[in-house]
Amino acid sequence: GAGVSQSPRYKVTKRGQDVALRCDPISGHVSLYWYRQALGQGPEFLTYFNYEAQQDKSGLPNDRFSAERPEGSISTLTIQRTEQRDSAMYRCASSLGREKYFGPGTRLTVL
């Protein structure tokens, strides 16, 4: 596709459920990033991959959050046992160089 795509665009879940958010980067982009954006704030770094290797996961808030990119393309961000404070926009970006291209985001609401 022409840009970064993310699915689902909106996800409403109940507290305690697991959710999986998907990111499909621009074809050929080596690096893939996950960010989280709370209402009224800028995006905050969660983790990033070069190819299939997770290079930095320092931004993941706790061990309920994990991410993978097994074949160096599509990535999944998984949140286990969701809590209301996990409600946010989750943004994915990909890059080949220093510019990052963002997807439309997934709006997660935990009830």
Which residues would be at the binding site for other proteins (CB under 8 A)?
A: 4, 31, 33, 35, 40-45, 48, 55-56, 58-59, 91, 93, 98-105
46 or 82, CB closer to other proteins? Answer: 46
Q: Edge-to-edge strand order for the sheet containing 5-7?
A: 5-7, 19-24, 75-79, 65-68
DSSP letters, 50-77, are ETTEEEE-TT--STTEEEE-TTSS-EEE
Q: Cβ of residue 15: shortest distance to other proteins, in angstroms?
A: 27
Closer to other proteins by CB, 7 or 80: give it. Answer: 7
Q: Are 36 and 44 in contact (CB under 8 A)?
A: yes
Q: Name which of 25 and 43 has its Cβ closer to other proteins.
A: 43
